């Protein structure tokens, strides 16, 4: 665990569970593309596979206007789904959290590997 990449996902955040809701796939896929593009601008190499021997720590800090619109696990899974082809060995990082009453909706993502 020597390298760290940090980036911010602005605007409306989408949850992994919205994928199953009728008519919600297009906004969710656009959200995944936006997250991946922001990660690649920060130095990420594209959609990767997390390996058992080389675990990746993913921290997601959700900032909300007032109250959270979704729980942390759905927010985490949405970001994880955007960044990894196979994500079974991705571990939640120690920085993960929800921040209420922040004034704007965004997610700060920290990748440690």
Q: What is the pTM of this model?
A: 0.85
The HSE-up count of residue 2 (CA atoms within 13 Å, CB side) is 0
The HSE-up count of residue 97 (CA atoms within 13 Å, CB side) is 6
Best CATH choice for the domain 4-41+55-112 from the list 3.30.1330.70, 3.30.379.10, 3.40.50.300, 3.40.50.11540 = 3.30.1330.70
Can you tell me the mean pLDDT for 43-56?
A: 86
pLDDT digits (tens, 9 = 90+) for 53-92: 888 899 999 988 887 888 888 889 889 989 998 888 898 8
Confidence of residue 19 (pLDDT cuts 50, 70, 90): low
Confidence of residue 17 (pLDDT cuts 50, 70, 90): low
């Amino acid at each position: 665990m020597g390298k760290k990449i940090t980036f911010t996902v602005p605007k409306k955040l989408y949850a992994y569970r919205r994928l199953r809701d009728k008519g919600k796939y297009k906004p969710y896929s656009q959200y995944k593309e936006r997250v991946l593009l922001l990660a690649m601008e920060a130095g990420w190499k594209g959609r990767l596979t997390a390996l058992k021997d080389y675990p990746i720590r993913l921290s997601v800090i959700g900032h909300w206007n007032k109250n959270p619109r979704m729980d942390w696990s759905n927010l985490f899974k949405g970001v994880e789904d955007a960044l990894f082809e196979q994500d079974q060995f991705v571990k939640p990082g120690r920085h993960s959290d929800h921040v209420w009453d922040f004034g704007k909706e965004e997610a700060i993502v920290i990748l440690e590997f």
